[in-house]
Structure 1
Amino acid sequence: MNYFKQILRFAKPYRHHGILNIICNIFYALFGTLSFVSLIPMLSVLLGETKPVTIAPTYQGITQLKQYLEDYLNYFVTLKTEEHGEIYVLTAMVGLVISMFLIKNMFSYLAMFFITFLRNGVLRDIRDSLYQKVISLPLNYFSEKRKGDVIARITSDVLEIQHSFLSVLELIVREPLMILFTIIVMFGVSVKLTIFVFIFIPISGFLISKIGKSLKKHSDKVQKEQGVFLSIIEETLGGLKVIKGFNAERIFDDKFQKSTTKFFKFSNSLLNRQNLASPTSEFLGICVIAVLLWYGGRMVFVEKSLEASAFLVYMGLAYNILTPAKAISKASYGVKKGNAAAERVLEILNAISPLEDSPKAQEKKGFNTMISLENVSFKYEDDYVLQDFSLEVPKGSSVALVGQSGSGKSTIANLVTRFYDVNKGNIKIDGIDLRDLTKKSLRSLMGLVTQDSILFNDTIKNNLLIGNEDASDEEIIDALKIANAWEFVKDLSKGIHTNIGDSGSKLSGGQKQRLSIARAVLKNPPIMILDEATSALDTESERLVQSALENMMKNRTSIVIAHRLSTIQNSDMIIVMQKGKIVEKGTHEDLLIKNGVYQKLVTMQSFE
């Protein structure tokens, strides 16, 4: 129930639709009951049970309401029969029945009309909130989560919430009111028979509830396994070259089939339990009806305490309870199933990010003096990858970080951009700790070019506008020229409006990297961070990209993480790292003269 309350807060913006739905459902339940009651006078006419009453009855109070209604009906039938004949009266009774059913169904449609806006609105808002949360959570939150599992939560789990929890909103007023109004009328028709009915309803309700107890557990298994095979699909599409190149189709096919077989078994188990609810509740309902037929038949034929027309309508009313009761029992199973989906959705929505801006975080508009790392220590899991690391990067200077893989170079980039927070020490910009700045203002000061050119399935223009969404076409073209990318973009069929495919698949590695540089140029930040921007390129592409990087770094502060000598030899300061510590620092020429670790790196061609 706690999950239901948390999901229900998304319905607040649509409460006026909910109120209109409730009003329509009240009238639906009322006219749904009256539509059965309206059958009594028609059946009385057909069965010839109408007692002649020639004097209009007088109202004697609420206690005599039933008798007053019966006498007035008989008076109306007697009067109209004498005036127009029995066929006229029968036609009027049939018209009354049709009108009641018409009004009932009109309110049924209106109730569904209004609830549709609420259901789909909540569905959209939950998905929007999930997506906003996903892009706001830190990178380490997703390091152990499968992408497919996150996709499953945003798609199928949210849809399950709509089918389960939000279905309850439709039933929460309509069905209980339908049952309440029907029971009131049933007591009006026969108190004795109604008390007899209520002996059997709790028994059938208890049996139905026993079926649904394990639904949440089985539903959770289904949803988790769906996340697994969606992850396999995502990994397969991203790694098709490797799969085909290593003839690994069978390995991945076996892995996928193993997951879908588990999903098949879990789904069968869940649906078989769920499907058992409807026939069970219907059978138990028919058992109640059968007992009613026997007991009510005795009241009609033996005790003569109930008229045949009233008994027939009573049977209809009794069956009228079964439909909403069945819907409520089905909805209760849906809530149990929806609990598992809600738990998975709320796990992300309620996740607390350790990188949230502090209440006192300030906006920073510019960069004035330096970036300083003061005795920084950091670990991703158990072992420290940086230990007591200190570094100063003055404004306007270019500092390069080199070292073998695992030495902690890329970690510096992750910490300066605050993708992670330090475990010990401080990182400051102009003397202000990064944790005292808003993430948005911090990252607005920085441009990032990574080893993997992360581009999106869109046009060149829209990929670059991520750097500056207000840039004009002329500014985009200027940025492409600085990045040495205009030379190939201008020859494309649609120029900057050309779609580059999934992850830029229509372009070469060098072209993609130059577009990444152009995106950073368009942002025009005072600080540039280059994380092995040329390590994945061939010699010709590296020359063009290196030239673009040199153009971009003019008059900017830059932190360059590199393997290749060509990227860093003109840097103002080169920091040589081993196991998270600084072992040497100086200019390219100074470090070569020292004949130390840097010289060995050059000799071993570790920059290749």
Structure 2
Amino acid sequence: MQYARPYRLIFFAVGFAAIMLSVFSSVRPILLKYTVDDYVLTKDANGLLLFVIYMVAALILEVISQLSFIYYANWLGQSVIKDIREKLFKHMMRFRMEYFNNSSVGVLVTRAVSDIERIAAIFSDGLFMIVSDVLKMIVVASVMIYFDWQLSLIVFGILPLMLYATRLFQKAMKKAFVEVRKEVSNLNSYVQERLTGMKIVQLFVREKGEYERFEEINSRHKKAWINTVWYNSIFIAVVELMSAVTTGLIVWYGGLRSVVGGADDLGNIFMFIMLSSMIFRPLRQIADKFNTLQMGMVASNRVFDVLDTKSKVQNEGVLKADTFKGEIVMNGVRFGYVKDEEVLHGISLKVNPGQTIAIVGATGAGKSTIINLLNRFYDINQGSITIDGVDIKDYTVESLRSQIAVVLQDVFLFADTILNNITLMDPEIKEADVIQAAKEIGIHKFIDSLPGGYHYNVKERGSMLSSGQRQLIAFLRAYVSNPSILVLDEATSSVDGYSERLIQTATDKITKGRTSIVIAHRLTTVKKADKIIVMDGGKIVESGTHKELLKKQDGYYKNLYEVQFLAEEAV
């Protein structure tokens, strides 16, 4: 309801339309009663025509009220979920990487898309419809009591049974819809992951196994929905039976009074048949709307659980990093992705401005973790990291990351043009700047040869390009951002020789005068570094230049060099 406050005028307009709708819908049965009693039975044609015109006018006003009610209730719902969806997306963009590592992308997509649509239904088909129907029932009940309390008792006698059935139905549907939303999330998550990893599925011939698993999940999804259909079917049948019984009792008792007592009840009978359907139909619709409301509430709980999640990197820094000289100092840094399971054990190192250091070590040694901490994707458990003598927590997160360009081994490209993947829609980076940068690092010819050149759409995850070409695009993306600090996280490990030569040329150009950290994979990168940091088991075991480290007998780097790098040279 807090999100509806900016639209309070529309909110009250919808409420007013609901009141008018309940009033005008009750006017028609009353007019029908007078029409039958005063003009049909007395055969007054002129009066009959006049009251028919009145009923048409009441019908038109009812239609206008209903049109206004439905349109603006839906308008309000869509406006509210627009605001919630924007807040949710903004909130998720500030989450730590830890949150995404532990959460299913498919589930988060469900929260941001289908669950939020369910929230819109709270306004359009849930809350306001229930309020409207309750108002209509109150007005109808008042009219019944005013005109004939005896016939009213017949209707009100059936009403408690209807209310009891509605309550049982509501409880059953709430439980069923919780299961439905759970299975929808599971289905979305499974499909999203398998479509994303389809190459692995096909490479390892797992199509049959994955299909059988999908059949199992899909069957559970169907079963969850069938439960809601089953409850709904029973409830509708019970409501129709009670409505039919009520109509029969009205006709029987009203007709009996006319036959035995001589009462003139024909108009009342017509009116009460209409009014009884008007009091039972909203009750049945209220149950239907409760389904919508229940699904909306379940969905809103899931969405607000994400909104209430405190997983943001603390952005309490006030210093804006316009540029860095590039001095990086890590002092006694301890960190673990999981509590009580340290990955880095008291790392201390210093990188001087303009210096290029290479970090080598076995898989799991903690090399990439250092990069994650430098960019504040995670916060350290103990120690400190400073850039230019200032703790990185004192910088704003946005300005810190804007001065550090990272090229990862696993390049992610959006389903967009090469130009937009390079600039990431930054208006300050012009196409001419991108073309000039591409020429400087020698990849303009490759991009220009593609259909559409810089406006070539690389499709989802850059599937239209080879891994080497994607790496070149990622390198150009880092280059045009003009960073103070450059990080290459095994950026040449999966490229061909030609692409590597291009990247090496570009590396020499972009690292000149800039602090650079290279998680090394290829020999050429290691040998050119000003300093080599050797890591093992989350600790720095050696450091020095290439020549210095080779002189250490039984040194870790020397053994690594002989096993890996000399073999690479031989190849």
User: How high is the TM-score relative to the length of structure 1?
Assistant: 0.88
Q: How does 1:208-223 map to 2 (within 5 A)?
A: 208-223=166-181
What does residue 18 of structure 1 align with? 11
Q: Which residue pairs with 1:605 in the alignment?
A: 564
Unpaired runs of at least 5, structure 2:
none
Q: Give, in whole Å, the separation in 2 of the partners of 1:338 and 1:280.
A: 25
- Partners of 1:216 and 1:339 within 8 A in 2: no
CA shift in 2, pair 1:536/1:273, >3 Å: same
The residue that corresponds to 2:21 in the other structure is 28
**Residues in 1 aligned to 2:450 and 2:459: alpha-carbon distance in whole angstroms:** 14
Q: Verify: 1:376 aligned to 2:338, yes or no.
A: no
Preserved CA contact (<8 Å) 2:154 2:246: no
Q: Does structure 2 retain, via aligned residues, the 8 Å contact 1:403–1:563?
A: no
Match of 1:567 in 2: 525
1:556 is aligned, of 514, 533, 556, to: 514
Q: Provide the rounded CA distance (Å) in 1 between the counterparts of 2:341 and 2:275.
A: 71
Q: Secondary structure at the match of 1:357?
A: coil
For residues 487 and 560 of structure 2, what CA distance do their matches in structure 1 show? 22
Instruction: Please give the alpha-carbon distance, in whole angstroms, between the structure 2 residues aligned to 1:604 and 1:113.
Output: 72
Residue 507 of structure 1: aligned partner: 465
Q: What residue number does 2:32 align with? A: 39
State the distance in 2 between where 1:144 and 1:182 align: 54
The aligned amino acid for 1:405 is: T
Q: Deviations over 1:186-234 (max 9, x none)?
A: 1221133324432331232012211221323332222222222323322
> Cα gap change, 1:521/1:268 in structure 2, threshold over 3 Å: closer, same or farther?
same
Instruction: Tell whether the 8 Å contact from 1:484 to 1:514 is kept in structure 2 after alignment.
Output: no
SS in 2 for 1:302: helix
Contact 2:360–2:521 (8 Å) recurs in 1? yes
Shift of 1:15: 2.5
- Tell me by how many angstroms 1:165 deviates: 5.7
Q: Distance in 2 between matches of 1:498 and 1:222?
A: 41
1:531 aligns with 2:474: no
Structure 1 Cα separation of the partners of residues 511 and 49 of structure 2 = 91
Match of 1:293 in 2: 251
- How far apart, CA to CA, are the structure 2 residues paired with 1:277 and 1:428? 66
CA distance in 2, matches of 1:397, 1:489: 31
Within 2, Cα distance between the matches of 1:363 and 1:244? 48
8 Å contact 1:415–1:422 — kept in the other structure? yes
Corresponding residue for 2:91? 133
CA contact (8 A) 2:170 2:287 kept: no
AA partner of residue 371 (structure 1): I
CA–CA distance in 1 between the matches of 2:131 and 2:191? 42
User: In structure 2, what is the Cα distance between the partners aligned to 1:501 and 1:333?
Assistant: 40
Q: Does 1:115 align with 2:73?
A: yes
**Residue among 316, 320, 326 paired with 1:363:** 320
Bigger radius of gyration among the two:
1
Tell me how far apart the structure 1 counterparts of residues 382 and 505 of structure 2 sit (CA, whole Å).
Answer: 38
Cα 1:279–1:356 shift into 2, 3 Å = farther
Pick closer, same or farther for the CA change 1:38–1:148 going to 2, 3 Å: same
Alignment of 1:124-523 (within 5 A): 124-164=82-122, 166-304=124-262, 307-358=265-316, 361-368=318-325, 370-381=327-338, 382-466=340-424, 468-523=426-481
The separation in 2 between residues aligned to 1:290 and 1:519, in whole angstroms, is: 77
Aligned residues: 565
- How far 1:28 sits from its partner (Å)? 1.5
2:94, 2:313 within 8 Å by CA — same for their partners in 1? no
Are the aligned partners of 1:372 and 1:429 in contact in 2 as well (CA < 8 Å)? yes
| Alpha-carbon distance, 1:354 to partner | 4.2
Write the distance in 1 (CA, Å) between the matches of 2:352 and 2:18.
Answer: 70
Of 558, 569, 577, which residue of structure 1 is paired with 2:535?
577
CA root-mean-square deviation: 2.1
Residues 202 and 115 of structure 1: is their aligned pair in 2 closer, same or farther, counting only changes over 3 Å?
same
- Partner Cα distance (1:217, 1:24) in 2: 33
Q: Is the 8 A contact 1:369 1:394 kept in 2?
A: yes
Unaligned runs of 5+ in 1: 1-7, 51-85
Conserved 8 A contact 2:77-2:123: no
1:482 and 1:216, CA in 2 relative to 1: closer, same or farther beyond 3 A? Answer: farther
Cα deviation per residue 1:142-183 (whole Å; 9 max; x = unaligned)?
212222122222222222333356422331442122112212
Q: Measure, in 1, the Cα distance between the counterparts of 2:58 and 2:270.
A: 18
User: Deviation string for 1:524-566 (max 9, x for gaps)?
Assistant: 1101111110111233322222222222211111111122221
**CA contact 1:165–1:334 (8 Å) conserved in 2:** no
Matched to 1:324, the amino acid is P
Q: Is the 2:334–2:381 contact (alpha carbons within 8 Å) kept by the matching residues of 1?
A: yes
Q: Identity, % of aligned pairs? A: 32
* 2:498 corresponding residue in structure 1: 540
- C-alpha deviation, 1:304, in angstroms: 4.3
Q: Deviations over 1:412-462 (max 9, x none)?
A: 000000111111112122333222322111111111100011111111111
Alpha carbons of 1:252 and 1:158: their partners in 2 closer, same or farther (altered >3 Å)? same
**Matches of 2:8 and 2:565, distance apart in 1:** 64
Matched position secondary structure for 1:604: helix
Query: Closer, same or farther in 2 for the Cα pair 1:442/1:88, shift >3 Å?
Result: same
SS in 2 for 1:130: helix
* Residue identity matched to 1:271: V
Give the AA of the match of 1:377.
R
Measured after TM superposition, the shift of residue 279 of structure 1 is 2.7
| Equivalent-residue separation in structure 1 for 2:496 and 2:23 (angstroms) | 78
After superposition, the Cα gap between the structure-2 partners of 1:373 and 1:275, relative to the gap in structure 1 and judged at 3 Å, is: farther
What secondary structure, in the 3-state scheme, does the structure 1 residue paired with 2:540 have? strand
- Does the 8 Å contact 2:77/2:121 carry over to 1? no
The amino acid of 1:380's aligned partner reads Y
Q: Which residue identity is paired with 2:150?
A: K
Displacement of 1:285: 2.9
